[in-house]
Amino acid sequence: MASECLPGLRILFIGDVVGGIGRRTLHALLPALRERHGITFTVVNGENSAGGVGITPKIAREFLAAGVDVITLGNHTYHQREIYPYLDEEPRILRPVNFLRSQPGHGFTVVERDGVRLGVLNISTNLYMDLALPMFAEADAALYAMREKTDHILVDVHGEATSEKIGLGWHLDGRVTAVVGTHTHVPTNDFRVLPGGTAYITDVGMTGPRGGVLGVVKELAIQSMQTRMPARFVTSEVDPWLNGVVIETGSEPHRAAAITPVLEPAPASVTGR
């Protein structure tokens, strides 16, 4: 596509889907969300979708069948062993690009619709996370490989420290369409288009039970924090919400025009209320 006349299109990015309740919430809300916002591409972080930790091939296939274009992951990528070969076989599921080359999977992909090519990059921060290769250098290397093959690029930066995510947003401003944070499961209110034209949010939040602690049954999480003893974490089913953002792309390549949060409670068909 000629680089000066890109049509504005909308990308829906959905934060960490947690357990069966998060999956049911996603599947219940996705068709109407895509229609309401005129969505061209849908990207979902699925790192907690299998019982709260990891993802299975069956769950990933269900997401893709529901119209999800790319699935991103994070520090829980390898919790379910059955996903390992699938990560190598399926181009539309990503693990952080800065994991070791020897670990299964890949960190970026390009999908195309209506003549527009969207690159998606998944990367992990370094502070307080599983060991990963240095984020800034690995992001630059990945973008070097992606840039000419794409009209737009969305980066899912998966990490704990707000400072590193904000730093990456500034580092990539004007070079990618969007930098969206995941992992903390708590949506931040700092969504904006940076001066160079990159849409940014520190954390999109999660698609899961707001009535728990980051997705875990609240009594179990509190007990563990109170007693400082390990507890078996079970996914809460209380008050599920979908958390995401819609990114409107600009007319120039690798630029955004707007970013808007999407925070929606699950419908009665999911909650039984």
Question: Distance between CA atoms of 104 and 86, rounded to whole angstroms?
Answer: 9
Residue with tokens 């999480």: 221
Closest contact distance (angstroms) between CB of 62 and Fe ion is 18
Tokens of 248: 């409107």
Q: For Fe ion, which residue of 16, 151, 237, 248 counts as binding (CB under 5 A)? A: 16
Q: Which of these segments, 21-29, 49-57, 178-186, 251-259, binds Fe ion (CB under 5 A)? A: 178-186
Q: Contact between 75 and Fe ion (CB under 5 A)?
A: yes
**x/- site string to Fe ion, residues 93 to 112, per CB under 5 A?**
--------------------
Residue with tokens 């990456």: 168
Closest contact distance (angstroms) between CB of 183 and Fe ion is 4
Question: Distance between CA atoms of 245 and 101, rounded to whole angstroms?
Answer: 30
Q: Say which of 27, 37, 76, 79 is annotated catalytic.
A: 76
Q: For Fe ion, which residue of 25, 40, 42, 48 counts as binding (CB under 5 A)? A: 48
Site for Fe ion in 243-262 (CB under 5 A): none
Question: Distance between CA atoms of 181 and 254, rounded to whole angstroms?
Answer: 18
Q: Is 76 a catalytic residue?
A: yes
Beta strands 208-209 and 178-182 are unpaired
Cβ closest to Fe ion, residue 6 vs residue 214: 214
CA 22, distance to chain mean position in Å, is: 14
Question: Distance between CA atoms of 157 and 142, rounded to whole angstroms?
Answer: 13
Question: Distance between CA atoms of 250 and 256, rounded to whole angstroms?
Answer: 4
Q: For Fe ion, which residue of 46, 52, 54, 74 counts as binding (CB under 5 A)? A: 74
Q: Contact between 183 and Fe ion (CB under 5 A)?
A: yes
Tokens of 111: 């999908």
User: Which residues are part of the catalytic machinery?
Assistant: 76
- Which residues sit at the interface with Fe ion, rule CB under 5 A? 16, 47-48, 74-75, 183
